Structure 1
Amino acid sequence: MIISVDLITSNIWTVILITIPILYFIYYRKFRIFIYDQPKKVTKGKIARGKCPPSYPNGKFSSSSIVGLANKKFLYHLGWFWLIDSCNLAPGGVRFINHCGRDVVVFRGHNGKPYVLEAYCAHMGGNLGVGGRVRDINCIECPFHGWVYDGETGTCVFSDGENRIPRRVDTFEYADLERCTPCSSANSKSTEYLQKIAENQEIKLKTYECRELNGSIFAWYHADENLRHKPLYELIDIQDEITRNTMEVRGESINYVNCHVQEIPENGSDVRHFDFLHESILDSISFVKFKWTPSAERATNPDLRQIMAHSNPSAHAYKMHLFDKFLTEDNVRYINVICLDCSIRFFDKYEIFLFNTTGFQIGPSIVYLFLWSPYFKLTLFHTLTPLEKFHQRVVHRIITSTWMPYWLSAAMLMGEVKQLYADMKIWNKKIFTEKLNYNTKNYADKCLHSYRNWYAQFYEGCYEREAKSLSW
């Protein structure tokens, strides 16, 4: 029997034309399900969490309470926190952001620069992020009465192009708002409830240091007012690394987790849990499993390079390159490093090395994972944002080689999210344990002990309490 070349070619093209739409369907449909359906499947519940540290790292109660907002936390933080993706803030764009225990407005001036201010107008409390508009290059106008604030300084100004004159006002406050009693005076029948506390003074809204890099906008929070504009460390900019390795951003997953904020980043240093939660590749195939070999150390460890050395010369060279590029004297105190080998095991006998990961957790909420493989390079950029107490937004952004098919990068991100789901089953129902029992002769428990001591620096000077307010 002779089969013609034309018939073979025709059959090959038929298979290709059928396969490509199927792969794209898997990429598009499944990818979007992971991004958009997940928040609907996981809802917040009032679950006991144990005795916890404050919900937001380095929180501090505001000296001025806002009346009418019962049980609201007013907290300040130490660290860089994600605000918004750059692509979602066009020039002239204004957004109201409510997370990390505070309300801010972020806007992009007509000069292309982002600015972050406290959200409420000092006049009558209008929300600048809802209906506010950008004026005169880098100012924002309140939608309520048109008061204008300079994005650089937060000063309320009369603005006309380049000419800006600070607005000067008198300041009043209620003498006793909770009991609604008038001001004390010689006249016992006084009906004055507002008392003047300052006159003819300039007014300012708080401004926050912000950075735009890696496709996102971040704000710096600190409890100490003297350090609000003096970040203790800077974020890692990976754009040069992306360009050097001919990579591009392919997508992101957005997930919501109900647990204390520390539980999620602690995951990387919990080296033992990989054997229990992340062994499975597919639940239906038990003879093919992941094998993980993790380690975790503080970046300040003088023996870090020896501990994290890799037997593969290429993987080792890439890891040392990352250490040289991103670890500096200024930031090592605020970085925890993880190293992770991943292999695939068949029938618990045969192994194929898949990739090595070098990870940097910088501060309380940001993680960079650099994957080296004989077959590809890949970077994952994680951000963690506290939306409410025990309610966290987790984003994984995937950056891959430009040659990689989109369906394959989507499948890799789906695999990452599958591992996240395994963790979420634990996080959503666990408590934060105040009293810990460690076997300090065991490397896994040593990592956990070290991590909790490292992470605690982001709670320094931190406390929280309920705002006194009227109950309705």
Structure 2
Amino acid sequence: MENSAIFLLQSLAAIHLTMTLFMYLVALVLILIYPLYLYITKPLNRIKRHGDLGYHFGTPELADKYRDKQIERLKRIRMKGDLPPVYPNGWYCIAESPQLAHKQIMPIVVFGEQLSLIRSEDGSVHLIDSYCPHLGANFNVGGRVVDNNCVQCPFHGWVFSAESGSCTRIPYNDGTIPEQARVTVWPVVERNQHIYVWFDADGSAPEWEIPSIDDIQNGQWTYKGRTEHEVACHVQEIPENGADIAHLGFLHLAGAPVGNDIIRIDLSDRAPSIAHKWNGNWSASNTEKHVSKMHLEQVLKFHGFDIPLSASKLDAIQIGPGIVHMHLDFGTLGKGIVLHHVTPEEPLMQRARFVMYSNLPRWFAKFFLLAEANQFERDVYVWSNKRYVKNPLLVKNDGPIGKHRRWYSQFYSDNSPRLLPDGTLSNRAKSVLEW
């Protein structure tokens, strides 16, 4: 009887020890897996600055200051071609709403101008020129948001309304405020968690509105991540890809796992193990002249067989020269939208943003954005080095590039700034409220 009790106690102790070790093991596995889970599900924030990719300097690669000097040299000697005007008329994204806090002044570069983006105390957004008309101080360096929607200069404390541009008070002045004491105001709108500025070379007011995406506004689609790239090219080159159907089956044939560097990708391999099959078309809208649409269906194949869950349908709605709403349908996985924006900061420097909202699983959304970035960055290698060909030599299956150019030309006018041979502009970009 005594031996049986001892055996039972020993068995219980062994079971307890086993369970304890098992729990410790489970805890250890969870501790190791949890960071991986966080990484996989954390929204993507991929940022590539000018020079991070898109250039090739032979073997071995140049580095540090030598690479920087070579990039500057390439900018000087690059053949630009017969460029269209550099700043088309339309709405452009200048910031994402979460980036601008209350009572914050955010430096903005767009159309070659330094501007100041302000969120007032009541939450509204305003955009003004950055330089105080008094003695030229920059509001972006030490300026403050005061009196709800006003900006105070850091030099002498002059206060300007960000809504009207007028000087509202001068701290040390007892007399009248000079009528010329005002800064230029730019028309802005906040929509779909982004902030946009309107530009028109002829001083015309906004001619269309940016559509509101209901599923973003009501929270059905949530933020899933973003990518951002600085691209050294003309603003028209990037959206023109929507009509360049032929390049999809060549530059973008190989799947994203082979990377973004077109120097190292074997583009001669017409049957890569992981390949995209593309089927698309582009057309201008019959009802809204500033709108066009690209429909694209794709599936990823492994040695000729469709990869499960990789098929998608895309309707890319281009709204004016710099906004694309990419509506995505992944079938049973869900739907979403990528807000794609191209913003001209300088004549040949664009800021391209991709921001996703969807009901897709977070891991899948991140995988998609990474794959999209890899494919987009292959184009960056081309855009950063190509010249603009005004009259391209097109063949039958190139796609409707000519039609796209005729559609896009509506956003230029006689007063649109042009890049002159000496690197200056024919005329500077101005706010439509400055005329």
Q: What is the TM-score normalised by the length of structure 2?
A: 0.75
Code of the residue aligned with 2:197 in structure 1: it is A
CA shift digits 1:174-203 (9 cap, x unpaired)? xxxxxxxxxxxxxxxxxxxxxxxxxxx454
CA RMSD of aligned residues (A): 3.2
Residue 69 of structure 1 is matched in structure 2 by: none
Relative distance call for 1:450 and 1:143 in structure 2 (3 A) is same
Q: Is the 8 A contact 1:288 1:344 kept in 2?
A: yes
Relative distance call for 1:98 and 1:35 in structure 2 (3 A) is closer
1:361 pairs, out of 290, 293, 318, with 318
Code of the residue aligned with 1:246 in structure 2: it is Q
Tell me how far apart the structure 2 counterparts of residues 208 and 16 of structure 1 sit (CA, whole Å): 52
Tell me how far apart the structure 2 counterparts of residues 151 and 224 of structure 1 sit (CA, whole Å): 23
Tell me how far apart the structure 2 counterparts of residues 351 and 91 of structure 1 sit (CA, whole Å): 46
Residue 193 of structure 2 is matched in structure 1 by: 215
Code of the residue aligned with 1:90 in structure 2: it is A
Residue 232 of structure 2 is matched in structure 1 by: 258
Do structure 1's residue 83 and structure 2's residue 94 form an aligned pair?
yes
How far 1:19 moved relative to its partner?
5.1
Do structure 1's residue 299 and structure 2's residue 285 form an aligned pair?
yes
2:355 pairs, out of 397, 406, 417, with 397
Residue 334 of structure 1 is matched in structure 2 by: 290
- 1:42-53 counterparts in 2 under 5 A? 44=71, 45-46=74-75, 47-53=78-84
Residue 58 of structure 2 is matched in structure 1 by: none
Residue 321 of structure 1 is matched in structure 2 by: none
Tell me how far apart the structure 2 counterparts of residues 234 and 41 of structure 1 sit (CA, whole Å): 35
Q: Determine helix, strand or coil for the equivalent of 2:81.
A: coil
Do structure 1's residue 408 and structure 2's residue 364 form an aligned pair?
yes
1:236 pairs, out of 204, 211, 226, with 211
- 1:425-440 counterparts in 2 under 5 A? 425-439=381-395
1:377 pairs, out of 316, 319, 335, with 335
Code of the residue aligned with 2:191 in structure 1: it is L
CA shift digits 1:157-176 (9 cap, x unpaired)? 2289xxxx99543xxxxxxx
CA shift digits 1:269-312 (9 cap, x unpaired)? 21111101112113399233111111100012xxxxxxxxxxxx
Q: Is the 8 A contact 2:246 2:397 kept in 1?
A: no
2:105 pairs, out of 76, 94, 109, with 94
Q: Is the 8 A contact 1:95 1:130 kept in 2?
A: no
Residue 149 of structure 1 is matched in structure 2 by: 160
Q: Determine helix, strand or coil for the equivalent of 2:229.
A: strand
Tell me how far apart the structure 2 counterparts of residues 467 and 290 of structure 1 sit (CA, whole Å): 41
Code of the residue aligned with 2:36 in structure 1: it is I
Q: Is the 8 A contact 2:44 2:224 kept in 1?
A: no
**% identity of equivalent residues:** 28
How far 1:16 moved relative to its partner?
7.2
Relative distance call for 1:271 and 1:205 in structure 2 (3 A) is same
Q: Is the 8 A contact 2:232 2:348 kept in 1?
A: yes
Q: Does 459-468 or 335-344 show the bigger shift? A: 459-468
Residue 106 of structure 1 is matched in structure 2 by: 117
Do structure 1's residue 286 and structure 2's residue 272 form an aligned pair?
yes
Residue 410 of structure 2 is matched in structure 1 by: 457
How far 1:113 moved relative to its partner?
0.7
Residue 314 of structure 1 is matched in structure 2 by: none
Do structure 1's residue 267 and structure 2's residue 245 form an aligned pair?
no
CA shift digits 1:344-397 (9 cap, x unpaired)? 334336586711101111111111101112132121111112222322211111
Q: Does 333-342 or 242-251 show the bigger shift? A: 242-251
Tell me how far apart the structure 2 counterparts of residues 296 and 278 of structure 1 sit (CA, whole Å): 17
Tell me how far apart the structure 1 counterparts of residues 279 and 113 of structure 2 sit (CA, whole Å): 40
Residue 35 of structure 1 is matched in structure 2 by: 47
Tell me how far apart the structure 1 counterparts of residues 175 and 243 of structure 2 sit (CA, whole Å): 50
Tell me how far apart the structure 2 counterparts of residues 360 and 382 of structure 1 sit (CA, whole Å): 10
Tell me how far apart the structure 2 counterparts of residues 37 and 56 of structure 1 sit (CA, whole Å): 21
Tell me how far apart the structure 1 counterparts of residues 232 and 94 of structure 2 sit (CA, whole Å): 19
1:54 pairs, out of 68, 78, 85, with 85
Relative distance call for 1:423 and 1:219 in structure 2 (3 A) is same
How far 1:18 moved relative to its partner?
5.4
CA shift digits 1:228-282 (9 cap, x unpaired)? xx201111221x1236682201211111212111111111121111101112113
Tell me how far apart the structure 2 counterparts of residues 151 and 37 of structure 1 sit (CA, whole Å): 30
Tell me how far apart the structure 2 counterparts of residues 122 and 21 of structure 1 sit (CA, whole Å): 52
Tell me how far apart the structure 1 counterparts of residues 234 and 353 of structure 2 sit (CA, whole Å): 16
How far 1:467 moved relative to its partner?
6.9
Do structure 1's residue 388 and structure 2's residue 346 form an aligned pair?
yes
Question: Tell me, which stretches of 5 or more residues in structure 2 are unaligned?
Answer: 1-18, 55-67, 260-270, 427-435
Relative distance call for 1:122 and 1:276 in structure 2 (3 A) is same
Name the count of aligned residue pairs: 367
CA shift digits 1:33-76 (9 cap, x unpaired)? x436786445653122222123222xxxxxxxxxxxxxxxxxxx
Code of the residue aligned with 1:432 in structure 2: it is Y
Q: Determine helix, strand or coil for the equivalent of 2:357.
A: strand
Tell me how far apart the structure 2 counterparts of residues 146 and 40 of structure 1 sit (CA, whole Å): 40
Code of the residue aligned with 2:128 in structure 1: it is L
Tell me how far apart the structure 1 counterparts of residues 425 and 87 of structure 2 sit (CA, whole Å): 16
Residue 73 of structure 1 is matched in structure 2 by: none
Tell me how far apart the structure 1 counterparts of residues 135 and 219 of structure 2 sit (CA, whole Å): 52
How far 1:414 moved relative to its partner?
0.4
Residue 303 of structure 2 is matched in structure 1 by: 347
